[in-house]
Structure 1
Amino acid sequence: MTARPRRLLSYVGLGLLSGAIFLLDGLLSMGPTVEMLQVAVILLTLFLPGRTPTLGFGVLTTVFVGISCALQYDTGIPAQSLMDRGLVLAGLWTAVAVVLRHKQVRQAQRESAAKAQAILETTVDGIITIDPDGLIESFNPAAEDIFGYEAEEVLGENVKVLMPSPYREEHDEYLRSYHETGHRRIIGIGREVRGRRKDGSTFPMDLAVSEVELGDRTLFTGIVRDVSERRRLEKEILEVSEEERRRIGQDLHDGLGQMLTGIGLLSQDVTRQLEEEHHERADDMAEITNHIKEADQYARDLSHGLIPVDVEANGLAEALRRLSQNAVRMFDVACSFREIDTVLVHNNTVATHLYRIVQEAVSNAVRHGEADDIKVILAEGDEQIRLQVRDDGTGFDTDAADGSGMGVNIMNHRARIIGGTLEVSSQLGDGTVVTCTVPQTADEAGRSTAARSAAPAPS
């Protein structure tokens, strides 16, 4: 049965019920008891949509009560009975007002729910709701597209199924710590993190998490946006930039540097001859020779700055070792480098950005942290490369920091470009730890290139 015949049948049923109550009223002595049954008719209109049924049956029941009063009218009827009829009518229309208000509220709730559902289903951002234990309660279509899961596959599962290592293992502890201490790392802040798709692949995403109180329940809503394409374009732009830097650095080293070296040798030979002849311009020539040597060294320093990491796979470790030695000499601090096992980074872009992150972290430790001892640690696991810079400086309050430091922003940007994440932990008076974690997948292109280069040429 369609909606319209069913509604019509409801109208007829309520009309018959109201009429039956009217007939019952005629068979009984005059009093408010039977008439108050008309209130039940009004309440039943709660199940009919719109305002019209409620108003219509409000009028109908009022007419029946009035007819009943007219039929039983007698001058001998006490005023109390008439007052009771008046109270019955007041009760009827109070019920009408309550039903109309309830319908208005329910309609507003339905419209709000429909709008929310429309937003959830049409937004390009993934929206995920979890309970205090981290179990997924809702998973919109955009989230299905981003992560590759159907909603039915993840509802009731722990949200860490959407996270790669090491965040998957750390998530439960983070939630527990938040419930106990209220310390926030993501909730109400928003940051870029890495997500894990159903096929096991990882990707960068913007994540904003908010806390929602629903009565005695607490829910967390996460809004997710896949930024893979944006990061890919940024990476391509930076790779072009880095390639141009390497080209200029190579030209400085192999072109201008070699020319200046040759000119320096010639001028040195001419200087020696003029000195042997006691020529009056011998001192001038010696000064020219010194300037050429300085220009040669300056060109080489520029080329090393433009190409800080050698193209070999172990170039990052050697570059970081040199950086540590230079920090000792330039800043008069203790700076050490430790490589855990052998870490090979084949992708020169990844290696260069990691080097720049350490360079910035060491500089911040000396300039802002007033550190005396700095440790640089490079390690490699099955799924990731981790680079850490520790210092014993003054530190800072991470909760009070506004995140506006240009150095930290640049380090964050470099980490994101190579598909990694950056974490900065610090306490006042207890130094700072900067940790950059890069998945092994970020180095796959470099590994493939290295493998092709190492393969023997076909005969």
Structure 2
Amino acid sequence: MMRALSEPVPPAEGAQPGRRLRWLLLWLLLAFQLPALLLFGVAIWLAMDSEQAALGQRLMAQTVALSHRVNARAVTVQGALQRLAQQLPSDGQDLRDFQRAASALARDLDVDAIVLVRANGQTLAHAPLPTGGAEALRTVPPAFTEVARTGRADVVDATTWSEREGPVVGIGVPVARASGETLALQAVLELPRLTPLLEAGLLPAHWQAAIVDNAGRYLALTAGPLGPTGGPVKAALQERLAREAFGTFRSADIGDPPMTVSYWTAPATHWTAVVAVPARGFTLPAWRTVLTLGVPMGLVIAAGLAGAWLVRRRLTAALNGMRAATEAAEAGRRRGEQRLEGMLQAAPIATLLIDETHRVRSFNPAARALFGHAPEQILGRSLEPLFTPLSWRDCQEDIAAVLRGTVRGPDGVTSGHCVRLGGDVFPAEFSVAPIPRADGERLLSVTVRDVTEREEFQASLLAAHHEVQEVSQRFERMLLREMDARQEQIGRELHDAVGSAVAGVSMLLEAAAARRNDPALVGALLEKSREQVQVVAERLRQLSRGIVPAGSEAGALRQALEQYLLDAAALMGIECTLRTRGDFSDVGAESAGHVYRVVQEAVTNAVRHGQARRIAVHLARAGALCGLTVRDDGKGCDLSLVHPSHPGMGLKSMQARARALRGRLALRNRRSGGCEVVLRWSEPPEEL
């Protein structure tokens, strides 16, 4: 028809030009009126649909905002309860400070009470104290103990409590005690506490908001036809809540005005936010739009008659513009797909692109190297063969969650097992993410990471920990045996060296008492008794040096080593020398005790195991650096004894003392014969 406007019309025979023109204008008018009327109807339909869509989006936005407020309230209370749980004293301690902290927190959180209960229902704390006193402490709803039994943070739906007049809800967290018992710390709220979350003053007129618990009862409700607070929801809403977590539907229960209801379930509390608007609220704006469009549309129809000759030109330009825009959009889509494919191929982690039917559309070289499949073996096929049955079920749940717009788990990563080509099963972590597309097709990316090395490393760490525990226990048993042997040796020496001498002194004194009339003989006997007492004292002094180092006082290291080497030479019949270079007068008592014990152990080992006859001890110092060298002329030492797993008690003792000094201990054989023990350490500045 538009082409006919630009083409000449041949005149009909016997017809007057003016008459033909009038008929032509009449037909043109009729021809243009019909499209104008159709356009008017389409505009009205689009306007009504746009108004209803905008109102639906606004309704859902109000529902989501209410759900977020409910979720944030629960998360805030749970976080505060977890911080309060850290102040819980150990078993058997007084709970009054915890009670005061709980009372203060109840005021800050604007909750009615905070209670601490056992899994068996016994109440340990109640803040603030109930009006019924201690008797009320023993009465708590059974639902409040569910957190203690499951060990998971949760909310308690509306329930009755004899302490409160109306229904209450609870927000609780588990509290694990050192004894292994799990308690429940519950924040108790009466239903009116939830009413401010509705923000009724911000809702448009005739709109109604509500909060529904898991049992399908209203926890908070603005004025309207939905129902009473604490009562059950209508059957239509109950059926919707049982099937899905969010949505919008039209409710027309008998006896109630039709309403459009939107609902959204909060993830933390599993409570549902509900916002309802009367059905007429969707139609009145649309009719106002019809009246508003009526006048302009009439003008458009009139203007269309005058501007019909512009349609072809405008339509052609519009088509050309649409063609150019379509070509540009197609080119942009191709560039986006090429960029996505390039990013996929360059990704270092195994990544596969799948569609909503779980079929593989593309995968990168990292995925090919991980699973071993060629492109023709996996492209267009299901993702299922790459996972074990249990892990494939988890992967399907992740895919379903992403398609719903949610994420499973705290970080979206799931642990499981995957299967390589050939049947090799390996531990892995996988995650699913959506891939936006301009053409509206929904693609998903599945990334898989092989965690075999990490699990092997964790297993090796656990084995090393067990080995360290075993070595430590073996070392403690050896230490106890060595201590028992040392005590037995000291007992024998006291009995052999001191006991007989004391018995001799006793006999001399008895003889002197029996001959008290002979002064000369008494004097001789007393002189022999004195000599025996000196021998006993000297022997006790020698024994005490083996038990308590003579250098246990600060600044006495050099003198203690000199005295020890003199005593060792006399007792063991060997030659001992000490040479020092530097000042050791400011060495602390703890460091001096460790060095003294190292020298004592080195000398004992040289005589006992190496049959040494000459021992030389060198002690040197330069600033904070200190060194000790003990050399002997014995048979040498077995270097395998240095291995940490060897049961030698003396070497372990010297190594432990070197570590206490933050130094290093070395044991080696001398070329000229004998063994050499070298200790290097630094004196801390604060001890200098």
Normalised to the residue count of structure 2, the TM-score between the two structures is 0.29
More helix by share: 1
Normalised to the residue count of structure 1, the TM-score between the two structures is 0.41
Larger radius of gyration: 2
Give the number of the structure with larger relative contact order, counting CA–CA contacts within 8 Å between residues 6 or more apart.
Answer: 1
